[in-house]
Structure 1
Amino acid sequence: MSHARREDPFLPEHEDITGLIPRGLRISAALAWRFIVVVAALYAVVWVIGYLSVVVIPLSIALLVSALLAPAVQKLVAVRFPRGLATAIVLVAGLAVLGGLLTFVITQFSSGLPQLQQQVNASLDQIKNWLLFGPPHLRQEQIQDFINQAIGFIQNNQASITTTALTTASTVGEILTGFLLTLFITIFFLSGGDGIWTFLVRAVPRRVRNRVDVAGRRGFASLVSYVRATAAVAVVDAVGIGVGLWIMGVPLVIPLATLVFIGAFIPIIGAVITGGVAVLIALVTNGFIGAVIVLAIVIGVMQLESHILQPLLLGRAVKLHPLAVVLAITAGLVAGGIAGALLAVPLLAVLNAGVRSLLHETNPDPAQVDVLKDQAAQPNDAEPGGPKAEIATVGEEEADGSTAEPPKRSGKS
């Protein structure tokens, strides 16, 4: 049969020609179509998330806020406060602090605008004098023509500017709606988050339920550690850069420090952008030398953050490679804009802790995981009965000179 098959280049239609295809090509084809299916599924998930962004973004932000406020709620519960009352106290206190900070920032911004306007006008006069009497040697008519062209451009694009203003107004309405939805979800997460998670885990098959339960809890523990450490780093960044701007006499110190605080929640990229804004304002108001000094202050604070604060505060609980962080932020920015960039790294931290738990833990116990402790984000690699524990036991027996029969395998895998 095989000899006849070699002589005849054409095979009957009923014969299977799979055996004639090289094994490497068959494996590549099998991997290729599976890869295409996975990519299509991921694309569908991303599309659904984008379509439901009005719900997904408030839900994600509520999860971040819950991770930040959960330790405070738990401390009140530990001193015999009912969980509902503890949630109400923490949320009211948080809203009061947030409202006070916003009021203070807006007041400082309004009071600092006149000084900024004066300094900008003075800088524009210096630029104009340099254009007239410096190396360019421009005439007054040329500068006036340029100003007239700028005014004409604004007048010609007045319709688009008005449309942008209306779009901004609708965006403000969406932000207000999202804020209320976030607050509503946060209340339920803080008051009954454990019950919600237990209900969701019931949908998982029983044989892997504990592993999924523990993986989710370790993911949330990683999120708690990340949010807590990032908030501390943001405070240090804002205070350090704010003090430097105040010493240099740069206007709008409080609004700029607040901007730095918010930007710190987007690792690496956020600090660069907000620090660049501070340097630009220093350049306009304090000149080139002042901008260079502010740039040195920003770089110094960023070095303190990356080499001391983040390793000290995040530690092993949220250990992410800088390349993974940058790629996650870039992907989040492309997929979801600013909100995507803000949520990309926390999502990566949760997935990192959850996947490590699924891969390394064989007999997990959900009752042993305290999500408010940094150590809970780490999987227990060597568990009783786990692979590493068996290896350690065999090693100890060999060291004692005793021999033992290897454990018998059952017929079921």
Structure 2
Amino acid sequence: MDSQPGSSSNLTESRRLQGYWNDGLGHAALRSAQLLLVLLLVGVAVYALTRVTLVVIPVLLALILAAAIAPFVNWLRRKGWPGALATGTSFLLLLIVFGGLVTGIVFAVRSEWSTLVDQAVAGFDELYRLVQEGPFAVDDSAMQEARDAVLDFATSSTVGSGALAGLSAAGSFATGFVLMAVVLFFFLKDGDKIWAFVLRWFSGERHRKASLAGARAMEVLGGYVRGTAIVAAVDAICIGAALFILGVPLALPLSVIVFVGSFIPLVGATAAGILAALIALVANGPVVALIVVIVIIAVNQLEGNFLQPVVMGRTLSIHALVILLALTAGTILAGIVGAILSVPIAAVSWAVIKVWIGEDQGDPAEVPEVASDDAESPEMGSTGAGQAGD
């Protein structure tokens, strides 16, 4: 009997404390604590991934390349090729093309890098002189600071060993290249088994959403890589042809820089075009430089109004501000490689979020098939990185 007053007092105190958390401020505090915890976990995960970039970057590259080549593997299978032969052939072709492209880019740019830097600096100085002699007053200190910042970056030792190595990523590091090749082969050969293992952790509606999210992720990755490669090739060919016709020196390495820069949305191709215009200014004069600028603007308009909508479709259906923020974060975390990979990662993340929140329900004929497959060997199609070898 003596414990009843104490129990009643404890119950009253407990209810009073619960009341603090049940009002609007209490709910806001709980949500804030949850958000801080999520941000902390994400921060720890990102920091951990940046410590093992030699593993993370090759795996991401392998996944992106596998998503891009998976339709070709499936096409060979539909033509009657055995699974192992289709996978092996696709793997070797992709490895040869990718390795040759990376090697060509590295050698083409590195062999002319010092000349490119000298010409770009001279072009900037010539532009600075023309601006000073113009009718409008300019801030000399701001122009000099911009020049010095670009010059310090371009002539620093980290550019040759860091930024250009970032352009080639795994191709510049034997270990990373071998790891990427091995992971790529297993993604193509056993992509369905790997995805089946991941789906073991889900059941019911979550299993259906995870299956659809995987399908959308592969569609976005594959479409992004193929579309961006086509757009980059068109940009490089058009601008490179104009540079050759106009007699601008270093046209080949400039075309290569335009091709690589086109994989960085919004800023990549524009920055490469500015470099080409500066070199044309110092080597061929202001008239040729102006023509180069006009060509670059025309190509950018062609890309933005025709190529991107037709080739990319809805693959990159994220706002330009999100792309800019993703580029900034990726560049800070992993340099040029981070800038190249950040946008497809953001696009995939948005596609997965739309599936998980129910905005993307999938096609009625597609989702039941994915969800009803046996967990041991689901039919991947475009959902996985590849098909199992026969």
TM (norm. structure 1) is 0.69
From 274, 277, 280, the counterpart of 2:272? 274
Q: What is the CA-CA distance between 1:164 and the residue it aligns to?
A: 9.0
Q: How does 1:359-374 map to 2 (within 5 A)?
A: 359-360=358-359, 361=361, 364-367=367-370, 372=382
1:146-185 maps to which residues of 2 (within 5 A)? 175-185=173-183
Secondary structure of the corresponding residue to residue 66 of structure 1: helix
Matched, 1:68 2:68: yes
Correspondence for 2:324? 326
Give 2:197's aligned amino acid: F
Which residue number corresponds to residue 25 of structure 1? 25
Q: Matches of 1:336 and 1:196 in 2, distance apart?
A: 27
Aligned partners of 2:221 and 2:344 also within 8 Å:
yes
**Aligned partner of 2:181: which letter?**
L
Structure 2 residue aligned with 1:219? 217
Cα displacement string for residues 296-355 of structure 1 (whole angstroms, at most 9, x for unaligned residues): 211211111112111112223431211111111111112222222111111112122222
Amino acid at match of 1:270: G
Report 1:99-118 matches (<5 A).
101=101
Unmatched runs of 5 consecutive residues or more in structure 2:
1-8, 134-154, 372-378, 384-390
CA distance in 2, matches of 1:100, 1:28: 55
Residues matched between the structures, number: 332
Distance of 1:161 and 1:228 partners within structure 2: 33
Identify unmatched segments of 5+ residues in structure 1: 1-10, 136-159, 374-413
User: Relative to 1, partners in 2 of residues 1:112 and 1:333: Cα closer, same or farther, differing over 3 Å?
Assistant: closer
1:199 matched to 2:197? The reply is yes
Specify whether residues 58 and 167 from structure 1 end up closer, same or farther in structure 2 by C-alpha distance, changes over 3 A only.
Answer: closer
2:249 to 248, 251, 255: 251
Which residue of structure 2 lines up, in the alignment, with residue 263 of structure 1? 261
Post-superposition CA distance 1:374-413 (Å, at most 9, x none): xxxxxxxxxxxxxxxxxxxxxxxxxxxxxxxxxxxxxxxx
Q: Which has the larger radius of gyration?
A: 1
Pick from 279, 283, 286 the counterpart of residue 284 of structure 2.
Answer: 286
Superposition map of 1:44-83 within 5 A: 44-83=44-83
**Offset, 1:103:** 6.7
Report the alpha carbon displacement of residue 91 of structure 1 after superposing the two structures with TM: 2.9
**Aligned in 2, Cα 1:304/1:347: closer, same or farther, shift over 3 Å?**
same
TM-score, normalised via structure 2 length: 0.72
Which of 314, 328, 339 in structure 2 is aligned with 1:316?
A: 314
1:239 equivalent in structure 2: 237
- Between the aligned partners of 2:110 and 2:331, the Cα distance in structure 1 is 31
The answer to whether structure 1 residue 344 and structure 2 residue 356 are counterparts is: no
Aligned twin of 1:8? none
CA distance 1:198–1:245, change in 2 (3 Å): same
Counterpart of 2:265 in 1: which secondary structure? coil
Please say if residues 242 and 257 of structure 1, whose CA atoms lie closer than 8 Å, have aligned partners that are also in contact. Answer: yes
Identity of matched residues, %: 35
**Bigger relative contact order, structure 1 or 2 (CA pairs below 8 A, ≥6 apart):** 2
Q: How far did residue 268 of structure 1 move?
A: 1.0
Checking the alignment, whether the CA contact within 8 Å between 1:240 and 1:301 is kept in structure 2 is yes
Return 312-321 or 95-104, whichever deviates more.
Answer: 95-104
Deviates more, 1:176-185 or 1:17-26: 17-26
State the Cα distance separating 1:290 from its structure 2 match.
2.1
Within 1, Cα distance between the matches of 2:304 and 2:162?
38
